[in-house]
Amino acid sequence: MSSLPTNSSIVAAYRERTPKSSALAEEARRVLPSGIAHDARYCEPYGVYIDRAQGARKWDVDGNEYVDYFGGHGALLLGHNHPAVVAAVQEALQRGTHFGANHRDEVRWAELVAKLIPSAERVRFTSSGTEATLMALRLARAFTGKRKLVRFMTHFHGWHDHMTAGHHSHFDNTPTTGVIPGITDQTILLPPGDEAALEAAFAQHQDIAAAILEPTGSGFGLVPLRPSFLHLLRAETARTGAMLIFDEVVTGFRVSPGGAQRELGVTPDLTALAKILAGGLPGGAVAGRRDILDALDFHAAAAQGREKIAHPGTYNANPVSAAAGIAALTIVGSTDACARANAFAAELRARLNEELKRAGAPWAVYGTFSGFHTFMNPQRRAIDPLSFDPFTIEFRELSTIPKALAQKLRLALLVNGVDCNARIGGVVSSAHGPAELERTVEGFRAALAMLAAEQEVPAAAE
Ligand SMILES: Cc1ncc(COP(=O)(O)O)c(C=O)c1O
């Protein structure tokens, strides 16, 4: 059932602009659950179907142009179709898509990861971020011989069994549908940023194998974390012999060329990587201390009398992904791409907050590095967008959106040429420039006016 009112002029305007997407969505629903391939692409009444993309823009099948803040779910720090990445992919395609063997590029790719990411003494490629966190946890358990995993509510680490409860539901750590209770019995789910709860958990449990978290806070800072929390977690894990795992699937090669760990000065034992790692193609990796990744090494495991962790994977270090990854990481490591994306996002957040202030909307745009999020104030607090501090809001409230209203704003933004996620947030690339900034601000202003016309926000002061 749609939560959108049928008499909304925003919905009508969206439908009017996107008839081909509508037709495709109808066809899709006959073969794909909800007509989609990734939950984050769910949109009511239907999402746009994209035909092509370039730089910071993309075009749908009806010919509408958008400033893109999805950024390939965060994979495209350099924007769509960076010429060096495209050339590397084309060159790799000529040579073959799968050799079923070792190849030169996987070595160069791993060397680049090891050069950029402080914790990466050894690298094992996977096909996705989900696989990377799964392997990181398994490595930690194998290395420590312990079982329990510390996790933080709202933090996302992919969709494998250990990581589903407590992401956006099941904060009581009961298993989500299809996951057996024995799995969640082995995880300790803590409120994010709560130092006392963290210390109590490490004091109470002697059998913690690892703690895993998104180092800039869940959802790339949707619920931000103070760096002091990372330092405490580093100290507690080191004191108890537990492994610290940074999930840098989003933040790796984005926050800085060396990820959040280099920027924030905390080195984990293991790091999960994906997205930018593979330059916009599928790929992931677990990187970390040599003695831990030795559990994947035939000789090292045998020499230590340990059972090796088995790790096949048809698309591990796929040659085309490797070529794209090498091209992307070379640029990330040798240019100011991360810094430019960070600077654009800071300006974007400031400009959008000015629009909110002008419109009298009690919401706020916030975020860190190259991300932004919109706090849509579900409890209708009195807030000033220009001085909003997300650390003053409890994590559940920060991650709650008034669904129908957010959905309307998202559609209104699409009608005005801006594509953001369902929480009215997104990521910025180094290809976003002044023209995208102005377009986004204009689109945001027009979208707020559409909401005002439906009495969803106060009308803007003239
Ligand atoms: C922080 C984080 N970890 C893990 C994952 C899972 O990565 P993948 O979608 O490549 O499986 C994601 C995906 O968005 C993510 O944002």
Are residues 327 and 387 both part of a single domain? no
Report, as an integer, the average pLDDT of 161-177.
93
Q: Which one of 309, 334, 359 terminates a domain? A: 334
- Please say if the pLDDT value at position 2 is more than 70: no
- Average pLDDT value for the chain: 96
Domain boundary among 292, 307, 334: 334
Query: What's the angle, vertex CA 171, arms to CA 167 and CA 172, rounded to 5?
Result: 145
Distance CA 426, CA 341 (A): 12
Closest ligand 1 atom to Cα of 130: 11
Residue 381, domain CATH: 3.90.1150.10
Domain boundary among 284, 315, 334: 334
Looking at the structure, tell me whether residues 120 and 187 fall in a common domain. yes
Looking at the structure, do residues 14 and 118 belong to the same domain, yes or no? no
Average pLDDT over residues 440-459: 92
- Write the CB contacts of 121 (distance below 8 Å, at least 6 apart in sequence): 114, 287, 288, 289, 290, 293
Q: Are residues 322 and 346 in the same domain?
A: no
pLDDT of 205 above 80: yes
Neighbours of 302 (CB within 10 A): 11
Rounded to 5 degrees, what angle do the CA atoms 349, 351, 352 make? Answer: 65
pLDDT at 173 over 50: yes
Same-domain pairing of 341 and 286: no
Give the Å distances, CA to CA, from 226 to 304, 316, 445: 39, 34, 32
Mean pLDDT, residues 89-95 taken together:
98
Helix axes 434-453, 9-17, angle to 10 degrees: 130
pTM of structure: 0.97
Q: Closest residue (by CA) to atom 13 of ligand 1? A: 158
Q: What is the pLDDT of residues 145-164, one digit of tens each?
A: 999 999 999 999 999 999 99
User: In this structure, which long-range contacts are made by residues 46-54, counting pairs with CB atoms below 8 Å and at least 24 apart in sequence?
Assistant: 46/18, 46/21, 46/22, 47/21, 48/18, 48/21, 48/414, 48/419, 49/20, 49/21, 49/24, 49/25, 53/80, 53/81, 54/79, 54/80, 54/81
Residues 65 and 142 in one domain: no
Together in a domain, 102 and 224: yes
User: What does the pLDDT read at residue 316?
Assistant: 98
For 16-44, how does the pLDDT look when each residue is reduced to its tens digit (9 = 90+)? 999 999 999 999 999 999 999 999 999 99
- Identify the CATH number of the domain in which residue 232 sits: 3.40.640.10
* Domain membership of residue 370 as a residue range: 9-79+337-453
Residue 24 CA, distance from chain mean position? 27
Contact between 288 and 119 (Cβ < 8 Å): yes
Query: How far, in Å, from the CA of 158 to the mean position of ligand 1?
Result: 5
- Regarding whether 446 and 406 lie in a shared domain, the answer is yes
Same domain for 357 and 389, yes or no, is yes
Phi-psi domain of 237 (left: phi exceeds 0; alpha: psi -120 through 50; beta: other) = alpha
pLDDT higher than 50, residue 462: no
What's the pLDDT score for residue 1? 55
311-350: per-residue pLDDT in tens?
A: 999 999 999 999 999 999 999 999 999 999 999 999 999 9
Sheet holding 364-366, edge to edge: 364-366, 371-375, 426-427
pLDDT tens-digit map of 50-88: 999 999 999 999 999 999 999 999 999 999 999 999 999
Total domains present in the chain: 2
CA 73 to ligand 1 centroid distance, Å: 9
What are the two backbone dihedrals, phi and then psi, of residue 286, each rounded to the nearest 5 degrees?
-110, 130
- Cβ–Cβ < 8 Å for 270, 243: yes
Same domain, 156 and 57: no
Q: Are residues 176 and 272 in the same domain?
A: yes
Question: Which of 76, 151, 275 best tests ligand 1's pocket when mutated (most atoms within 8 Å of CB)?
Answer: 275
Tell me the pLDDT tens digit for each residue of 376-394.
999 989 999 999 999 999 9
Q: In the chain, what percentage of residues exceed pLDDT 70?
A: 98
pLDDT at 455 over 80: yes
Residue 3 has pLDDT above 80, yes or no: no
From the CA of 155, give the closest atom in ligand 1.
1
Q: Which of 41, 137, 156, 222 to mutate to test the pocket of ligand 1 (most atoms within 8 A of CB)?
A: 156
Lining residues, ligand 1, CB within 6 Å:
73, 128-130, 133, 156-158, 214, 247, 249-250, 274, 284
The closest of 270, 245, 274, 214 to 75, measured between CA atoms, is 274
pLDDT band of residue 460 (cuts 50, 70, 90) is low
CA of 438 to the centre of ligand 1 (A): 30
Does residue 208 sit in the same domain as residue 89?
yes
Residue 4 lies in a domain: no
Vertex 272: Cα angle to 270 and 275 (nearest 5): 155
